[in-house]
Structure formats: C-alpha cells, structure tokens
C-alpha cells in the first residue's frame, strides 16, 4: 500500500510538470514564428532590375558597353509595373496575352512571337506595311541565334502611330513619352529597301565615307531637307525655304517614285546643315542625319524611339521650334561659333557609332526579352 503523499509535495510536483510543459511549448512556438518571419522578408530591393550582362551567359559581358541605352528599358518597365491589371476588388492580376492578341491594336501590323528552347517561332504574322514585319522578325531571330534567351511569348506592333488605352505591354518602335508600351529598335536596322535604304551596317559605311570624303568647310552652306508632306510642320519648313532660298533648301520628294528627283541619304552629307522633322509619327532618318558629320537641327519631338534619351540639345543637336520659326536665327548663331559647331558635329556621329550598332541592337533586344520573360503573363496555353 502506497504511502500517503503530503499535499505540499503534491502541489510542488504538479507545478513542476506544468512549468516544464508550458516552457517547451513556448520555445517551440517562438522558434517557429522567428523562422516564418525571416522567410517573409522581401528578397527584391528597391534597386533597378539586374542587367542582362549580370544574369546571362559570360560571353555576353560585352553588352555592358550599351548600358546607357538600357535606361529606356528601366523607364518602360516601370510604366509596365504601374499599369498592372487589377480585378474589381483591386487585386493584381496577370496580363492576358491571348486576349491582347485579339484586340483592335493587334488586328493588323502585329506579330505574335514565341521563343522556346532558344528557337524563334512566329505564332502569327498579321501582315504589316511593306517589309516591316519580316525585317523585325529577322532582327529578333538574329538576336536569338546569337544569345541565350529565356522562353517567352510576346506581341510586337509594327505600326508607327499607335494611340491606345490598353494596359498590355505591347512592343512598339515609337510612341509618345507618356504612352504605355515597350520600345524596341525599329525595322530600319535591317533595311528599308522601299525607300532605297540598305542594311544599317551598309548605310553606316556609306555615311562614314561621305563624311570623310566631304570636309565640312567644302559642304554647301544651306539647311537641307527632303521628304513627304506628312504633317503641317514639314509644310511650314518648305514655306520657310521659299522665303529664304539661299539659306534653306527644303522640298517635297516622293521616296517611292523613281521618276521624281531623288536625293540619297549619303548625298545629304553634302550639306553643312540638316533638318530633322517628324513624319506622320516619328521619322527613322534621324540616326542617318546624325551620322553625316553635319549640324542637325532638331525640333522637340512628339514621338520617341528607344535611343532618344541619349540626345542632348547643344551637345549632339541644335534645338529649334517645331514650326522652325527660329531656324534662320539658330543657323546664324551656330555659324558664329565654329568651335561649338565642330563639337556638336563630332558628338553627333560619335553617339551613333558608339551605341546604334548591330551589336547594340541585339543586346537591347536580348535585355528586353529577358526582362519581359519575368512578367506574369497568361498565354492561353
């Protein structure tokens, strides 16, 4: 028969057991909570996304030389994040590529492309203007053949004048600054044979030869322009030319009509001063004009390309009013300052030769596709 246990001893025993059990549960619970908290800390900081040269294969390290171009990519993808689709309750949702491919924006001048196992596939090609679509496809395919690209599917618009309130991140080669869309190098980096413009590398060589073979001092001292009458500012420039024929030579020219007088792009380099104008949207000629070694007069533009953020007034170009009302005044101003004139001309063509190369185009596309592959997008598969 067990001896009786006194009440104080029993109470002490029960208190000891209860304390041991509670402390064990508390330690276990505390350690679990600490682990969960540490795992919930954000991995992504407030820094810009990593550049492609830091995240892809070592052979692509040379793309670092084009990082100033990538600033536009950062701007575009910041806009992308700001335009994330949301449900009626405000929940962030993925973009729907299948739905976007059926929109009016993509009804024509549109490509749906897929990269799988580093092979480019054309899902659909809604025929665009002239040879723009095949030119864009070739540039992207050359990029894919050259670099390691993650699996990704995307929509490319080859129309140069897009106004849309869509929040889908389409690829565009020009847009107004506040418009939503991801800029990419345009089709002319392949060619624009319809306007008698060859492959970009061929044109660069021709323009370099023209620049070297025609010293600035021996060039025609006029502001020169040729093109189609696609907006009112071009008409204003021609009127100004009629008013000041000795200073300005601006005329209408049909690029596509072989029977009309034609001035080739390299022949533009015969003139000391070249005038840039927008067309129905952007004008692809700016990079050609800046390659001539002439002084380029540049009005504030409505439509931008992926590299326009590099252009600085009075460093690479001479700024003028959109209607060219101050063109004569700016010409006189630059003529009185030969050192500034020479510096602007040199900065202009050096900018193009440094950044607007085929290497730069391929690096830009590779960076775009890498960044785009990280977005949450429903493809319909």
One domain for residues 60 and 129:
yes
pLDDT at 260: 74
pLDDT at residue 304 above 90? yes
One domain for residues 341 and 234:
yes
Determine contact, residues 133/111, Cβ cutoff 8 Å: yes
- Pull the structure tokens for residue 168: 């889908």
Number of domains comprising the chain: 2
30, part of any domain: no
Closest among 271, 315, 311, 312 to 293, alpha carbons compared: 271
32, part of any domain: no
Domain harbouring 246, CATH code: 3.40.50
18, part of any domain: no
Position with higher pLDDT, 340 vs 60: 340
pLDDT at residue 146 above 60? yes
Show Cβ contacts of residue 137 under 8 Å, excluding neighbours closer than 6 positions.
111, 113, 120, 122, 125
pLDDT in tens, 247-260: 999 998 877 777 77
Report residue 58's pLDDT band, with 50, 70 and 90 as the boundaries: low
- Surface-to-core class of residue 183, CB atoms within 10 Å of its CB (0-12 exposed, 13-18 middle, 19+ buried): buried
One domain for residues 201 and 350:
yes
Determine contact, residues 225/331, Cβ cutoff 8 Å: no
One domain for residues 262 and 368:
no
pLDDT at 262: 83
One domain for residues 138 and 180:
yes
One domain for residues 82 and 178:
yes
Per the DSSP assignment, residues forming a β-bridge with 152 are 115
pLDDT at residue 162 above 80? no
Q: How far apart are the first and last CA of the chain?
A: 78
Give the predicted TM-score (pTM) of the model: 0.82
Residue 121 three-state SS: strand
pLDDT at 28: 38
pLDDT at 43: 25
- CA 122 – CA 320 distance, rounded (Å): 42
One domain for residues 277 and 349:
yes
pLDDT at 34: 32
- CA 344 – CA 317 distance, rounded (Å): 6
* Lowest-confidence segment of 24-38, 40-54, 201-215 by average pLDDT: 24-38
- Measured CA to CA in angstroms, residue 297 lies from 81, 239, 243, 354 at distances of 36, 17, 18, 21
pLDDT at 381: 62
* Lowest-confidence segment of 49-53, 61-65, 201-205, 208-212 by average pLDDT: 49-53
One domain for residues 169 and 199:
no
Chain centroid to Cα 172, Å, comes to: 8
- Taking the CB of residue 63, how many other CB atoms lie within 10 A of it? 23
Mean residue pLDDT across the chain: 84
> Which residues form the domain of 324?
194-356
One domain for residues 182 and 64:
yes
Report residue 60's pLDDT band, with 50, 70 and 90 as the boundaries: low
The torsion angles phi and psi of 95, rounded to 5 degrees, stand at -75, 150
Determine contact, residues 187/199, Cβ cutoff 8 Å: no
Position with higher pLDDT, 38 vs 360: 360
Per the DSSP assignment, residues forming a β-bridge with 224 are 249, 274
274, part of any domain: yes
Per the DSSP assignment, residues forming a β-bridge with 175 are 304
pLDDT at 30: 36
pLDDT at 39: 25
pLDDT in tens, 95-133: 899 999 998 888 889 999 999 999 999 999 998 888 899
One domain for residues 309 and 294:
yes
pLDDT at 163: 65
- CA 152 – CA 55 distance, rounded (Å): 16
Secondary structure (H, E, C), 274-315: EECCCCCCCCCCHHHHHCCCCEEEEECCCCECCCHHHCCECC
One domain for residues 148 and 290:
no
Helices 232-243 and 327-335 cross at an angle (nearest 10°) of 60
């Amino acid at each position: 028969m067990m001896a009786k246990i006194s009440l104080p001893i029993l109470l002490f025993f029960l208190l000891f057991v209860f304390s041991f059990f509670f402390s064990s549960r508390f330690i276990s619970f505390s350690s679990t909570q600490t682990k969960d908290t540490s795992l919930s800390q954000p991995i992504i900081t407030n820094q810009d996304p990593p550049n492609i040269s830091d995240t892809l294969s070592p052979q692509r390290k040379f793309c670092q030389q084009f990082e100033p171009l990538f600033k536009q990519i950062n701007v575009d993808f910041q806009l992308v994040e700001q335009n994330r689709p949301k449900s009626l309750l405000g929940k962030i949702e993925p973009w729907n590529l299948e739905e976007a491919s059926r929109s009016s924006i993509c009804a024509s001048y549109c490509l749906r492309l897929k990269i799988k196992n580093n092979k480019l596939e054309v899902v659909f090609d809604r025929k665009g203007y002239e040879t723009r679509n095949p030119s864009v496809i070739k540039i992207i395919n050359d990029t894919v053949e050259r670099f390691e690209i993650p699996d990704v599917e995307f929509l490319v618009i080859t129309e140069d004048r897009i106004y849309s309130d869509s929040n889908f991140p389409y690829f565009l080669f020009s847009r107004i600054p506040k418009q939503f869309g991801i800029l990419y190098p345009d089709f002319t980096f392949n060619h624009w044979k319809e306007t008698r413009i060859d492959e970009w590398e061929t044109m660069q060589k021709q323009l370099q030869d023209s620049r070297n073979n025609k010293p600035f001092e021996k060039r025609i001292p006029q502001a020169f322009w040729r093109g189609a009458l696609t907006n009112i500012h071009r008409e204003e420039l021609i009127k100004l030319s009629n008013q000041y024929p000795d200073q300005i030579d601006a005329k209408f020219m049909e690029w596509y009509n072989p029977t009309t007088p034609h001035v080739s792009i390299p022949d533009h380099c015969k003139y000391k001063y070249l005038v840039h104008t927008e067309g129905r949207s952007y004008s692809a000629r700016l990079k050609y004009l800046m390659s001539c070694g002439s002084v380029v007069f540049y009005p504030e533009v409505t439509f931008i390309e992926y590299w326009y953020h590099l252009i600085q007034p009075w460093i690479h170009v001479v700024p003028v009013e959109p209607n060219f009302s101050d063109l004569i005044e700016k010409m006189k101003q630059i003529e009185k300052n030969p050192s500034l004139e020479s510096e602007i001309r040199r900065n202009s063509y050096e900018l193009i030769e440094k950044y607007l190369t085929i290497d730069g185009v391929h690096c830009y596309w590779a960076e775009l596709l890498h960044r785009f592959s990280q977005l949450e997008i429903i493809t319909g598969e």
